[in-house]
C-alpha cells in the first residue's frame, strides 16, 4: 500500500519507545489531564502499537478536532482500506489547515485508491505549492504527467482543442526520470491497492519506459495479484485471459524477470488451463514452470524460499501439478511417475514438516487417494505400490493393512497376504473382521473348500450378531465366492471335454470303458457337490447380477450331471 505522510506535534520521550510513552500518557490522561494534546499523543502511541480501535476511540473523544486530529483519523481509515472515509477526513484536515502538505498528499492517495483520477489530477496543482521541496514538486509533476497519459482528455493540449496526439511534454518528463524517481513513482502506483487504477498506470509507464526493470516488475506483480484474485473467485476464463496477455507481453520485451515470478505465472496459467478442461495445455505450462524452477534451483540449490510455511518443497508442488494434469487427462501412466516423485520429495523433507505431522499426513492421504484411483481403473499393481508406501508412512494403520491384505489376496500373493494377516492380528487381536480375513486367505480348490468356508462364515456371523462391519465383510466374501465357483465349474467341464475329445479320436474297441465310467462317475459327484454348494451361495446372495450368474452355473451343473451319468453307466 502507498505510504502516507503524517505529522506529529511532539516527539515522546525515547522517540521510538511507544510502550513507555503510552504508559506515561495513560497515567496523565487517567489523572484527569484536560489537555487534548495528551489524548492526541496517546492515540498516536496506540496507533503505532497496532491498537487501532483504541486510537480511534481517543481521537473521537477530542471535542475540538483540529487538522491533525482529522489527519490521524484519516490515516486509521486508510489503513483499514476505508478510502472514502479517509478522503473525507483528509479533505476536512486540508480545509482546517490549508498549508498542510501531509493532508493534501494523503487526500491525493485516497482519491487515487478510489479510482478518482480526475479529482486527483485537479488536486495536484493545489498541493504542489505546499511543499518547499523541489524534488517533491518534481515528483508531483511526474505523477501528474502519468495520470494525464492515462486520461489524455484532461491534458492541456486537449483542453485547448488540440487533438493531434498525446502530450509529448508529459511523455518526455516521464522518460527523463532518474532510477530513484522511477522507483518511487512505481512504488506509489503499485501500492494503491486497486488493480483497476494501478494496472493502466503501470501499463502506460511500461510502454513509455520499455526497458525499465522496476516498471515491468510492478506491472507484472499487479497482474499476478489480480489474476490470483480472479482465481480465488473461480473466474478461470478471466484469469487466463489476463495472465496469457501478460505472458505475451513478456515475450515481446527484452527485459527479464526473476525466475520465481515466472514460476508463479506459469503455475497459475497451468491451473487455469486445467480448470478450463484444457489438460494438454495445462501440462505444457506446468512443464515450463518445472524447467524454470530447475534453472533457479541450479543457481541457488539450498534457498529457504523454495519451501512454504509448512515445509513443502516447491519441486513437490510442481510434480503434483503435472501429475494432476495427466491424471485428469486420463494419462494415468504418465501421472504415476510424477506422483512417485511428488511423494519422494515429501518423504525426503519429513524432518522439516511444520507441524511435524503435516507432511506425513499429506503424503498418507495422497497415497490412499491414489490407491483408490488406480484400483477403480483395475491397475492393481500400481495401486499396491501406493498402498505399500502408505504402509511405510503409517505401519500400524488398520485400514491400510486391510486393503493390503485384500490386494495381496487378489494378486495371488499368499505369502505377503499371510504376513499382513499377522500384522492385522497384532493391531486388533480381538477384532471379528480379522477372523474373516483369515477365512478369506484360504485357497478354494474344491466344492468342499467352499462349503467349509460358508460354514465358518456362518459361525462368525452367529458369534457377532448385529455387527454391521462383520455383516458387510461377510457379504463381500460371499460375493467373491461366485468367481471361485465359476472357476471350479470351468475346470470340471474341461475335464469332461478332455475325456470326450480323447474318445472321439479312438475307435470304439480301443476305448477303455471302465476307466471312462470311473472318471465320469467321479466328475458327476463333483458336479453334484458344486451344484449343492452353488445353491447355498445363491440363497445368500442379494446382488441380482450375481444371482443370475450362479443360477446359470446351477443349470450348467444339471446338464453336465446328465452328460456324466450317460457316459458313466
Reported as a single tens digit per residue, the pLDDT across 463-494 is 888 778 778 888 888 888 898 899 999 999 99
- DSSP states of 11-57 as a string? PPTTSS-HHHHHHHHHHHHHTT---HHHHHHHHHHHHHTT-HHHHHH
Are 147 and 201 a contacting pair, CB within 8 Å? yes
Least confident range from 141-150, 218-227, 239-248, 276-285: namely 141-150
Categorize the per-residue pLDDT at 162 as very low, low, confident or very high, splitting at 50, 70 and 90: very low
Residue 151 predicted with pLDDT over 80: no
Decide: 75 and 91 in contact? Cβ < 8 Å. Answer: no
Q: Where are the alpha helices (DSSP H) in 233-278?
A: 236-251, 259-275
- Matching residue, cell 491525493: 108
Q: Rounded distance, CA 248 to CA 373, Å?
A: 37
Residue 47 placed within a domain? yes
Report how far residue 218's alpha carbon sits from residue 231's, in angstroms, rounded to the nearest whole number: 20
pLDDT at position 1 over 60: no
Does 310 reside within a domain? no
Per-residue pLDDT at 507: 83
Flag whether pLDDT at 163 surpasses 60: no
Per-residue model confidence (pLDDT) at position 356: 92
Within-domain flag for 30? yes
- The pLDDT value recorded for residue 154 is 46
Q: How confident is the model at residue 276 (pLDDT cuts 50, 70, 90)?
A: very high
**CATH no. for residue 113?**
1.25.40.10
Please indicate, yes or no, if residue 230 is contained in any of the structural domains: no
**Average of pLDDT values for 385-407?**
89
Q: How many folded domains does the chain comprise?
A: 2
**Chain center to CA of 487:** 46
pLDDT at 152: 53
The last residue of a domain, from among 132, 151, 176: 132
β partners of residue 313: 307
User: Peptide bond preceding 355: is omega within 30 degrees of 0, i.e. cis?
Assistant: yes
- Cβ within 8 Å of residue 281, ≥6 positions away: 273
Whether residue 546 lies inside any domain: the answer is yes
pLDDT at site 164: 40
The pTM of the full predicted model, rounded to 2 decimals, is 0.67
The Cα 528–Cα 274 span in angstroms is: 58
Rounded Cα distance, 99 and 55, in Å: 25
Closest CA to 238 of 202, 203, 263, 275: 275
Kindly state whether residue 507 falls inside one of the protein's structural domains.
yes
User: Is the residue at 457 inside a domain?
Assistant: no
Residue 316 to residue 285: CA distance in whole angstroms? 16
Residue showing cell 506459469: 266
Residue percentage of the chain with pLDDT more than 70: 92
How does residue 532 score in pLDDT terms, banded at 50, 70 and 90? very high
Distance CA 200, CA 147 (A): 10
Q: What is the mean pLDDT of residues 157-177?
A: 59
Tell whether 8 is covered by a domain: yes
- Does residue 484 contact residue 474 with C-beta atoms inside 8 Å? no
Q: Which of 109, 132, 155 is the last residue of a domain?
A: 132
- Indicate the SS3 state at residue 131: coil
**Mean pLDDT across the chain, nearest whole number?**
85
Q: Rounded to 5, what percent of the chain is helix, strand, coil?
A: 75, 0, 20
Identity of the highest mean pLDDT range in 35-49, 438-452, 553-567: 553-567
Residue 456 has pLDDT above 50, yes or no: yes
Which pLDDT score is estimated for 256? Answer: 78
Cell of 122: 485537479
Does 568 or 96 have the greater pLDDT score? Answer: 96
Helix (H, G, I), strand (E, B) or coil at 307: strand
pLDDT above 50 (res 10): no
Distance (Å, whole) CA 134 – CA 123: 18
Q: Which three cell numbers stand for residue 368?
A: 490412499
Please state which of the ranges 135-139, 156-160, 266-270, 538-542 shows the lowest mean pLDDT: 156-160
Mean pLDDT of 167-196: 78
Name the band, by pLDDT with cuts 50, 70 and 90, for residue 160: very low
**What is the CB neighbour count within 10 angstroms for residue 301?**
8
- The CA-based angle 101-106-112, given to 5 degrees, is 130
Q: What is the pLDDT averaged over residues 284-294?
A: 94
Structural domain harbouring 497: 482-568
The answer for residues whose C-beta is within 8 angstroms of residue 383's C-beta and 6 or more apart is 370, 371, 372, 373, 374, 375, 407
- Which residue, 132, 161, 182, sits at the end of a domain? 132
Contact 4, 109 (CB under 8 A): yes
pLDDT in tens, 406-455: 888 778 787 888 888 788 777 777 777 776 776 776 777 889 988 888 88
- pLDDT classification of 12: cutoffs 50, 70, 90: very low
Amino acid at each position: 500500500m502507498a505510504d502516507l505522510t503524517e505529522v506529529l506535534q511532539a516527539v515522546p520521550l525515547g522517540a521510538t519507545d511507544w510502550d513507555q510513552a503510552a504508559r506515561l500518557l495513560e497515567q496523565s490522561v487517567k489523572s484527569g489531564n484536560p489537555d487534548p494534546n495528551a489524548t492526541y499523543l496517546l492515540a498516536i502511541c496506540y496507533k503505532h502499537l497496532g491498537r487501532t480501535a483504541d486510537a480511534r476511540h481517543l481521537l473521537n473523544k477530542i471535542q475540538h478536532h483540529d487538522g491533525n486530529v482529522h489527519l490521524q483519523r484519516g490515516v486509521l481509515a486508510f489503513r483499514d482500506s476505508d478510502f472514502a472515509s479517509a478522503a473525507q477526513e483528509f479533505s476536512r484536515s486540508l480545509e482546517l489547515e490549508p498549508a498542510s502538505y501531509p493532508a493534501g498528499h494523503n487526500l491525493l492517495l485516497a482519491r487515487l485508491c478510489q479510482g478518482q483520477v480526475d479529482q486527483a489530477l485537479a488536486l495536484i496543482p493545489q498541493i504542489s505549492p505546499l511543499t518547499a521541496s523541489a524534488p517533491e514538486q518534481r515528483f508531483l509533476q511526474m505523477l501528474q504527467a502519468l495520470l494525464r497519459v492515462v486520461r489524455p482528455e484532461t491534458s492541456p493540449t486537449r483542453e485547448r482543442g488540440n487533438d493531434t496526439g498525446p502530450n509529448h511534454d508529459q511523455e518526455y518528463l516521464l522518460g527523463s526520470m532518474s532510477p530513484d524517481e522511477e522507483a518511487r513513482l512505481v512504488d506509489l502506483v503499485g501500492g494503491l491497492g486497486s488493480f483497476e487504477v494501478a494496472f493502466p498506470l503501470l501499463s502506460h509507464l511500461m510502454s513509455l519506459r520499455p526497458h525499465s526493470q522496476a516498471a515491468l516488475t510492478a506491472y507484472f506483480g499487479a497482474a499476478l495479484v489480480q489474476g490470483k484474485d480472479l482465481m480465488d473467485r473461480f473466474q478461470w476464463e478471466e484469469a487466463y485471459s489476463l495472465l496469457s496477455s501478460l505472458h505475451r507481453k513478456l515475450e515481446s520485451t527484452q527485459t527479464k524477470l526473476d525466475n520465481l515470478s515466472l514460476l508463479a505465472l506459469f503455475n497459475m496459467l497451468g491451473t487455469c488451463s486445467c480448470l478450463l478442461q484444457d489438460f494438454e495445455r495445462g501440462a505444457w505450462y506446468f512443464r515450463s514452470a518445472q524447467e524454470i524452477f530447475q534453472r533457479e534451483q541450479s543457481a541457488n540449490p539450498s534457498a529457504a524460499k523454495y519451501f512454504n510455511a509448512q515445509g513443502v518443497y516447491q519441486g513437490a508442488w510442481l510434480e503434483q501439478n503435472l501429475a494432476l494434469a495427466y491424471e485428469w487427462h486420463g494419462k494415468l501412466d504418465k501421472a504415476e511417475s510424477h506422483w512417485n516423485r511428488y511423494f519422494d520429495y515429501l518423504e525426503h523433507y519429513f524432518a522439516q514438516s511444520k507441524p511435524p505431522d503435516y507432511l506425513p499426513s499429506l503424503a498418507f492421504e495422497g497415497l490412499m487417494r491414489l490407491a483408490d484411483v488406480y484400483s477403480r481403473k483395475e491397475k492393481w499393481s500400481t495401486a499396491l505400490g501406493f498402498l505399500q508406501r502408505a504402509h511405510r508412512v503409517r505401519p500400524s494403520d488398520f485400514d491400510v493393512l486391510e486393503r493390503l491384505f485384500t490386494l495381496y489376496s487378489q494378486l495371488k500373493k499368499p505369502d505377503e497376504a499371510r504376513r499382513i494377516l499377522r500384522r492385522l492380528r497384532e493391531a486388533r487381536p480381538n477384532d471379528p473382521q480379522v477372523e474373516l480375513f483369515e477365512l478369506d486367505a484360504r485357497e478354494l480348490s474344491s466344492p468342499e473348500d467352499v462349503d467349509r468356508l460358508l460354514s465358518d462364515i456362518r459361525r462368525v456371523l452367529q458369534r457377532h450378531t448385529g455387527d454391521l462391519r462383520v455383516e458387510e465383510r461377510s457379504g463381500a466374501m460371499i460375493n467373491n465366492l461366485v468367481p471361485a465357483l465359476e472357476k471350479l465349474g470351468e475346470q470340471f467341464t474341461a475335464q469332461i471335454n478332455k475325456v470326450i475329445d480323447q474318445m472321439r479320436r479312438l475307435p470304439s474297441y480301443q476305448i477303455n470303458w471302465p476307466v471312462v465310467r470311473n472318471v465320469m462317475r467321479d466328475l458327476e459327484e463333483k458336479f453334484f457337490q458344486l451344484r449343492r454348494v452353488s445353491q447355498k451361495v445363491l440363497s445368500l446372495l442379494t446382488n441380482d447380477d450375481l444371482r443370475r450368474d450362479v443360477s446359470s452355473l446351477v443349470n450348467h451343473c444339471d446338464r453336465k450331471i446328465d452328460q456324466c451319468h450317460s457316459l458313466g453307466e
